[in-house]
Amino acid sequence: MFVHAQTETTTTEQQLENQTEANESETEDDTYLQALSNLSKNPLNLNQADETDLKELRFLTPLQIQNFFRYRNIFGAFINIFELQAIPTWDVETIQKLLPYVTVKPVVNFAAESGKRFSGGTHSLLLRETYVLEKSRGFKQNDSANANSFYPGSRDKIFFRYKYVYKNLLQYGVVGEKDAGEQFFKGNQKQGFDFYSAHLFARNIGVIKALALGDFTVNMGQGLIQWQSLAFKKSPDALNVKRQATVLRPYNSAGEINFHRGVGITLQKNKWELTLFGSYKKLDANTVIDTSASYEEFISSFLTSGYHRTNSEVADKGSQKQLAFGGNLTYRANKWHVSANTIQYKFDLPIDKSDQPYNAFALSGNRWANYSADYSYTWRNLHFFGETALDYKNNHATVNGLLVSMDARADLALVYRNIAKGYQAINANAFTESTYPNNEKGLYAGVTLRPVAAIRIDAYADIYSFPFLKYQVDAPSSGRDYLVQLYYKPNKQVEVYTRYKTETKQDNYNPFNATLSPVPFVPKKNWRAQFSYKLNRAVTLRNRFEITWYDKKGPQSEEGFLTYFDVVYNPHMKPLSATVRLQYFETDGFNSRIYAYENDVLYSFSIPSFFDKGWRYYLNLNYSISKKLQGWLRIAQTMYKGKSLIGSGLDEIKGNHRTEAKVQFLYNF
């Protein structure tokens, strides 16, 4: 069995790039990649799949899911996988994405499955080490008088994961992670890894549809009050606007923030479904003592980096205790569903954000709550969905959408959101322009056209406004985004896409320190073209060109350019696969930075941003040592022109290059 490094579709690559650019950080949630890897080994039986199973695939729109069940109800169990071509709204591109993860087999009853849960699955042990060859300033200093001026731990980043999986019915495991600079079995980390995670997750045990113990994520509605799993926003997949996932999902990734720790259960009886969960965990936060109010302690901000290297970072670790509990009640019919959701929070210390104008409506106090109702309804070729929510202070938020299959060659998506300036939710992630749903009104329209089999055109327009101030925007503001992408795949060998994207939004610009800071519109435009050619069954060549214009002809004008060339070697049923990239980039500054997805070791993301001027290359190797053991090696280096220092603060490197090495082993037994 040969398990090579994951290869994403061009659409998924762009979604991950957009997500990283919006958050200015890479996600560490690899749950989605783990799920796909598990399905590649244990394909989903389409004759036994329910709506939850199809949602987990992420490739399918709500209309495609509804049409799948209509077809199966009318014609009965699938006899052959090629029947998928007969389902309305199912195009060839979608089916090709699904084929590695689905199968058609006779239905297996529950009794036959239950006896195999603890013995018929696969154990896996993963170990990954990442190391930057150049020593940064934090590892050179050792001033005992200032323990915040150096990193006391080793320079390697270590990730460990043990997991047992039986299909999608049972899994349990343990995760440990240590970041570079954190100590390991000594100093402040005498327990070994800085971060530990453990979970047990079971599905379909009689009326128990899901049972979560340990670490898990909660996803409800359209993300207005709670959504902790990976979810995308605007992207070239113009129809991917609806949040779709089960309420409870297992969590065993390296991210230290976005999950719950406790117990959750989903019960199902006929058309009713009830989920209840409770969680208690510690959060990293900055604590402040208010000397004007009897020396009371409060939280000024939460920390999400997960770093615990210096004394100050260690002091902030787990300084806020969070109790969370809530639930979801759903009634599901054939073509519609309606749900009621709630989540409640209780904090050990009260929250009091800094006294800045944009924080006038920030979350405060030592308790919080959110409530919502969500729905979906399918009528012929129309699919309606949405969620309306209230927070602890009765501020409202609503997101409503419509998906329309206008023709076999044309689909339309509309999303309207209206979120009050005072609305707050702690773990929310809705389809909005802002990272969190707050202080926003907007209307999105997207369309997908397939005029012929080889061509797909995606386009969207999004008009939005922010009624109140935002961070670094000292007045009510607005913006607009547009994108059009042409995708061309005339045969199995050639794949081409080109896109043009423009976004214009208001931002502070006050170089002369005026009393009232102006907030002019700042346009940013981007053009990209990517070509992929499959030379033979083993070798694929790939090339990208990208240009960015930031505030062109304006006072902050910047331009950026990036191009790379890839050689992907992935022979069928051979132990070795490899990817090589050579890249050149040149930008005028940080505002014209460009993000580029990179092939990485299995279950790992690499989506760096590039600015200034320089070269980058990487080599990614995967070798199947045996049927049970695979190894990966990745070397990546960035070389800057005319620079003698890279980075800042304790991460500053003397020189003009930065080299990262990554080694990973995966043992399945």
Residue-by-residue DSSP string for 369-400 = EEEEEEEEEEETTEEEEEEEEEETT--EEEEE
Task: Enumerate residues 6+ apart whose C-beta is below 8 A from 565.
Answer: 541, 542, 543, 581, 582, 583
Give kind and range of the element (H or E) at residue 83. Answer: none
CA distances from 18 to 148, 347, 435, 459, 607 (A): 34, 33, 12, 15, 10
Structure confidence at residue 476 (pLDDT): 95
pLDDT tens digit sequence for 452-500: 989 999 999 999 999 999 988 999 999 999 999 999 999 999 999 999 9
Nearest to 399 by CA among 411, 382, 414: 414
Structure confidence at residue 32 (pLDDT): 83
**Is the pTM for the entire model greater than 0.95?**
no
> What secondary structure, in 3-state letters, does 554-578 show?
CCCCEEEEEEEEEEEECCCCCCEEE
- Point out which residues pair with 587 in neighbouring strands: 560
Task: Enumerate residues 6+ apart whose C-beta is below 8 A from 12.
Answer: none
Structure confidence at residue 291 (pLDDT): 65
Structure confidence at residue 33 (pLDDT): 85
Give kind and range of the element (H or E) at residue 114. Answer: helix 110-114
Strands 609-610 and 260-269: unpaired
> Which two tokens mark 94?
């979608």
- 374 vs 359: CA distance, rounded Å: 29
Q: Answer for the pair 226, 249: CB distance below 8 angstroms, yes or no.
A: no
pLDDT tens digit sequence for 360-375: 999 999 999 999 999 9
CA distances from 597 to 11, 32, 581 (A): 11, 17, 11
Domain ranges in the chain are: 49-106, 119-199+520-669
Task: Enumerate residues 6+ apart whose C-beta is below 8 A from 267.
Answer: 207, 208, 209, 273, 274, 275
- 251 vs 611: CA distance, rounded Å: 34
- 348 vs 298: CA distance, rounded Å: 9
Structure confidence at residue 1 (pLDDT): 46
Sites in the chain below the pLDDT cut of 50? 1, 3, 5, 144
CA distances from 639 to 141, 483, 578, 611, 614 (A): 24, 32, 22, 12, 5
Q: Answer for the pair 104, 80: CB distance below 8 angstroms, yes or no.
A: yes
> What SS3 class is residue 322?
strand
Amino acid at 437: P
For 140-166, b/e burial (b = at least 16 CB within 10 A) is eeeeeeeeebbbbbebbbbbbbbbebb
Nearest to 339 by CA among 285, 272, 282: 272
Nearest to 509 by CA among 542, 536, 485, 477: 477
Structure confidence at residue 290 (pLDDT): 72
DSSP-assigned letters across all residues of 631-659? EEEEEEEEEETT-SEES-GGG-EESSEEE
State phi, psi for 182 to the nearest 5 degrees.
Answer: -85, 145
- 165 vs 157: CA distance, rounded Å: 26
Question: Which residue carries 């996803």 as its tokens?
Answer: 219
DSSP-assigned letters across all residues of 464-482? EEESS-BTTB-S-EEEEEE
For 194-208, b/e burial (b = at least 16 CB within 10 A) is bbebbbbbbbbeeee
Report which DSSP code applies to 593. Answer: -
Question: Which residue carries 């936060």 as its tokens?
Answer: 285
Task: Enumerate residues 6+ apart whose C-beta is below 8 A from 432.
Answer: 233, 399, 417, 419, 440, 442
Strands 440-449 and 455-466: antiparallel
- First vs last C-alpha separation in the chain: 12
CA distances from 472 to 476, 549, 590 (A): 11, 21, 16
Q: Answer for the pair 644, 625: CB distance below 8 angstroms, yes or no.
A: no
- 364 vs 353: CA distance, rounded Å: 7
Structure confidence at residue 141 (pLDDT): 72
CATH topology (fold) of 119-199+520-669: Porin (2.40.160)
Give kind and range of the element (H or E) at residue 460. Answer: strand 455-466
> Which two tokens mark 663?
């080694």
Structure confidence at residue 292 (pLDDT): 65
- Point out which residues pair with 456 in neighbouring strands: 487
Residues shown for the chain = 669
Question: Which residue carries 């998906």 as its tokens?
Answer: 403
- 577 vs 591: CA distance, rounded Å: 36
Q: Answer for the pair 133, 657: CB distance below 8 angstroms, yes or no.
A: no
Nearest to 178 by CA among 169, 187, 166: 187
